[in-house]
Each structure stands twice: as C-alpha cells, then as structure tokens.
Amino acid sequence: MQESSRPRALWGSRIGFILAAAGSAVGLGNIWKFPYITGNNGGGAFVLVYLVCIALVGLPIMIAELMIGRHTQRDAVGAFISLAGRRSPWQLAGWVSILAAFVILSYYSVVAGWTLDYILRALQGTFTAAAGTDAGQTAEHITALFGGLIENGSRQLIWHCIFISLCLGIVIGGVQKGIERWSKILMPVLLGLLILLFVNGMLSDGARQAIAFMFRPDFHKLTSGAVLEALGHAFFTLSLGMAAMITYGSYLSRKDDLFGSGLRIALLDTGIALMAGLAIFPIVFSAGMQPGAGPGLVFQTIPVVFSSLPGGNILALLFFLLLAFAALTSAISLLESQVAYLIDERGWGRKRATVCLASLAFVVGIPSALSSNVLRQVTPIADLGVFDSIDLIASNYLLPISGLLTALYVGWFWSGQEEKGELLAGGSGWIYPTWHFLIRFVAPVAVGAILYYKIEETGLFTLIKNLF
Ligand code: PHE
C-alpha cells in the first residue's frame, strides 16, 4: 500500500465523525426529495419499501464504503488502486464515484442557493399573512415567487456562488478544524429546528391524516417504478456511490466500530427523513392541499401554507434554515471527496485543491442555474428540465454503477479475512456473515436491477435529447 509522507488527517472524536457523516447523509434528499417522492408515490407502502431498502441494501453498502476507506486510508480512487492494483479496472468504481460527486455538487448547490433566497425572503417578512388581502391572492403571490426565482438566472447565480463559497470556507479548514467542527455546530441546530417543526406539525389539525398517509400502507398504490425509486433514493440519501463515505471512512481510526457507526448514521438519516415528512404533511393536509405536488412541494406548497398561518413567517424562516444547513453539511462532503483525491493522489495542498474544485463546481453549475429559466418556457414549473437530466444521469446511472462495482468488489473479490478484520477491530465481527450475504447477493442484484430498468426506461437517446 502506498503511504503518503504526510500523517493522515483523522476525526477528533467518534461523535464528530458520526455527525459529519450523518451531515453528509441528511440533505436536500431527506427534507426536499423524500417528502415529495413519498407524496407522488402514494405514501405508506412506499415508505415501507424505502425502509427495507435502507436496511438490506443501503446499510450494507455504507459499511462496505466505510470499510474500504478506513482500510486503505485513501480517497475513493486511491482506495481502489491500493486494494486492487494500479492497472486494475476496479478503480473505475472510484472514478465514477468522484465524477458523480462532481456533477451532483454543481446542481446541488443551485438548489441549495434557492434555500438561501427563501431565508432572505423570510427575513424580509415575505411569508407573513398580509392583513386585508384574501388567501387566494397571497397564495398566488407566493407561488409566483418560485417561478420568478427560477426565471432569474443572475439571482440564482449569486446564491449558487455564495453557497459554494460557504462550502469552500468550511472544507479549506481541513477534517477536524473545518468539517468536524462545523458539523458539530450545524447538526445539533438542524435537529433542534426539525424538532420544533415536527412538534408544530404534530399539533396541527392535519397530524392524523399525515400519520395515516405516511404509515398506513396501501399496496395497490405501489408500482414497480415506485420500488425502484425507493431503492434509488435509499442510495442517494445515504450518500452512497459518491465517494463521500469512502472518504469520510478514510479519516477513521483503526479502532472504530464500523457497523455501530454505520447503523447510527443510517438511523439518524432515516429518522430525520421521517420527521421531515411528519413536519411537512400535517400542515399540507390542514391547509387542504395535496401531498403529491412534486419538486415544488417544498418551494411552493409549503411557503403558501406558511403564509396563511399566524407566525408563519417565523416557521418559514426556521424551515429554510433547516434546509440550508442540511444542504451545506452534504455539499461539503461532496467537495471533500474531490479535494481528498487531489491531496492523496496528486500531492496538492488542501488550500489549492479546495479553491480550484470549488471554482470548478461553480462554473459547471452555471448551466443548471441558467437553464431552468430557458426551459421553463416550454416545461411546467414542476419539471426542472436540465436539472432533471443531470439528476437523472447522476442518480440513475453514476451512483448505481459505482455502487454495483463496489458491492461486487467487496462481496466477491476482496479478501474475507481483511473485511472480517475491519469489523472485528471495532468489536462487531458477529455481523460479518449477515453483512457478507447482503453485500454478496442482495445488494448487487438490487442495484443491478435499478441500473437495468433505468437504462431501459430512459434510454441514452432521450437523455441526450433532454440535455440539448
Ligand atoms: N445524502 C444527501 C441527501 O440526502 C445527498 C448527498 C449524496 C450528499 C452524496 C453528499 C454525497 O441530500
């Protein structure tokens, strides 16, 4: 194994690592995407399938990624080179995952920028129920805000730039003084905000309906597309296939319990997604609105609802702060995964690597920021055009490809002794047979199925057509 001459950066504490990794996992996926895909797919049964996917596919792959990182103490590309050899095709898994991190960061930051815009608006009191105007007018006004924002390229670019700069500011500080320190501040605040909004949701009139919607499964509503979407989302929400968990795992000390940590991260991530649903759906129902509003749920429906409630402007402020913090701790893991590559494999200094990659992410995100306004002319608001296409390439192709390669390598080609050693080191060797079975058979079949159906369903041709 090639060892770098510099001592490897390590997490300062186990809780610091868990908060950072949970910070990566908990993101727009939990608070923006999970509620709207649950809404679109009819609720209960979808949630159940999603939980099964997390337990049987997501968690085993997460443990595999942490294991690869910790064992090799390198970035995602270097990790596969160090395991399988410089000429081995397995390093493709690392490359694809870093490419995914790169592509995703560029548009993730644009959406994250919208949350900053909404924070500013809340500070300006935009979501206050204006006395004298009727509810219909307020709703129209708030709905138009989102359309106005995605039509306004320069406004989006400014927010995109600010958001990337925030990521840069954190990642440049390094593992302990940047990522870990900020995760320890942002994650507890995020949890606090979510608890407030959750309690608010539970106290509102729509609570019962929301609980029934999310937890009473109606299997008639479950389509095979929904199962695949649940599986794909389990992947995205746990930050798998994007180099993030390999990179964060590489800063773990040899003694840490990988299974215990992975389990805590997955539980936090899942718990937070469910709480986000239970914070959002009750107020959607109590306002008599529909849960299946698509991507506009968080940026259109929710603000409309807030603006009709007394004190709604404060709720809106808390909600968008929550969303922004969640996005920030995720985006830094995407940036860090790329930075780690330049540091470990190319010998760059952290400052230079961070500044270059953040600038590049900004530039590559420009089309995403500008395109939605062009495409909006021909597509309805809920369909974000180029966004969808990029999200499609990344989540439907790149993530499953790297996930599949990772599961195959770990399940079939890596030495069982070394894997067992990694689990034993933290005292959870007992889980080895179960984990090994899941990673060997269940994960590759499930991830292979996503890939197969997605390729069949979308076809490369449609994809290219969408892009141009
Ligand atoms: N897990 C994040 C979310 O749910 C997305 C993400 C993926 C972030 C990979 C970092 C790395 O939004």
Identify which of 234, 262, 236 has the alpha carbon closest to the alpha carbon of residue 65.
262
Q: Is the Cβ atom of 97 under 6 angstroms away from ligand 1?
A: no
d(CA 224, CA 34): 18
Q: Is the CB of 451 under 6 A from ligand 1?
A: no
Q: Verify whether ligand 1 is closer than 6 Å to residue 115 (CB atom).
A: no
Instruction: Give CA separation, 265 vs 16, 29, 251, in Å.
Output: 12, 15, 16
Q: Which of 37, 108, 186, 236 gets mutated to test ligand 1 (max ligand atoms within 8 A of its CB)?
A: 236
- Determine the distance separating the centroid of ligand 1 and the alpha carbon of 347, expressed in angstroms: 27
Q: Which amino acid is at 414?
A: W
Three-state secondary structure call for residue 416: helix
Cα–Cα distance measured from residue 439 to residue 108, given in angstroms and rounded to the nearest whole number: 29
Please give the distance of CA 448 from its chain centroid, rounded to a whole number.
21
DSSP 5-59: SSPPP--S-HHHHHHHHHHHHSSHIIIIIHHHHHHHTTSHHHHHHHHHHIIIIIH
Identify which of 405, 412, 392 has the alpha carbon closest to the alpha carbon of residue 453: 392
DSSP 384: -
The pLDDT, as a whole number, for residue 3 is: 44
Cβ atoms 30, 276 nearer than 8 A: yes
How remote is the C-alpha of 132 from its chain's centroid?
41
Q: Please give the pLDDT value at position 39.
A: 87
| Helices (H), ranges, 258-308 | 258-286, 296, 302-307
Structural domain boundaries in the chain: 14-467
- CATH no., domain 14-467: 1.10.4160
Contact 232, 62 (CB under 8 A): no
**Long-range contacts from 355-360, C-beta under 8 angstroms, 24+ separation:** 355/168, 355/172, 358/164, 358/165, 358/167, 358/168, 358/171, 360/102
Per-residue tens of pLDDT for the chain, all 468 residues: 444 456 788 999 999 999 999 999 999 889 988 988 898 888 999 999 999 999 999 999 999 999 999 999 999 999 999 999 998 999 999 999 999 999 889 888 998 999 999 999 999 998 887 665 666 777 787 778 888 888 888 999 999 999 999 999 999 999 999 999 999 999 999 999 999 999 999 999 999 999 999 999 988 888 888 898 899 899 889 999 999 999 999 999 988 999 999 999 999 999 999 999 999 999 888 888 888 776 678 888 888 888 888 888 999 999 999 999 999 999 999 999 999 999 999 999 999 999 999 999 999 988 888 876 543 433 333 444 556 666 667 777 888 999 999 999 999 999 888 888 888 888 888 999 999 999 999 999 999 988 888 777 766 556 666 666
Is 241 near ligand 1, meaning CB less than 6 Å away? no
Separation CA 364–CA 227 (nearest Å): 32
The best mutation among 24, 270, 337 to test binding of ligand 1, ranked by most ligand atoms within 8 Å of the C-beta, falls on: 24
Q: Environment class of residue 148 by beta-carbon count within 10 Å: exposed (0-12), middle (13-18) or buried (19+)?
A: exposed
pLDDT at 413: 94
What torsion, rounded to 10 degrees, do the Cα atoms 171, 172, 173, 174 define? 70
Determine the atom of ligand 1 nearest the C-alpha atom of 240. Answer: 9
For residue 88, what are the contacts with CB-CB under 8 A and spacing of at least 6? 80, 81
Give, for ligand 1, the residue of 239, 240, 390, 395 to mutate: max count of ligand atoms closer than 8 Å to Cβ: 239
Q: Whose CA is nearest to atom 8 of ligand 1?
A: 330
- pTM attached to this predicted model: 0.91
Centre of ligand 1 from the C-alpha of residue 2, in Å: 29
Ligand 1 pocket: which of 65, 109, 235, 330 to mutate (most atoms within 8 A of CB): 330
Tell me, using a 6 A CB cutoff, whether residue 126 lines ligand 1: no
> Does the CB atom of residue 30 touch ligand 1 within 6 A?
yes
CA 29 to centroid of ligand 1, rounded, Å:
6
CB 76 within 8 A of CB 97: yes
Contact 28 CB / ligand 1 (< 6 Å) = yes
Q: Comparing C-alpha atoms, which of 311, 376, 204, 268 is closest to residue 27?
A: 268
- Give the chain's length: 468
Q: Is residue 270 in contact with ligand 1, taking CB distance under 6 Å?
A: no
Give me the pLDDT at residue 387, please.
60
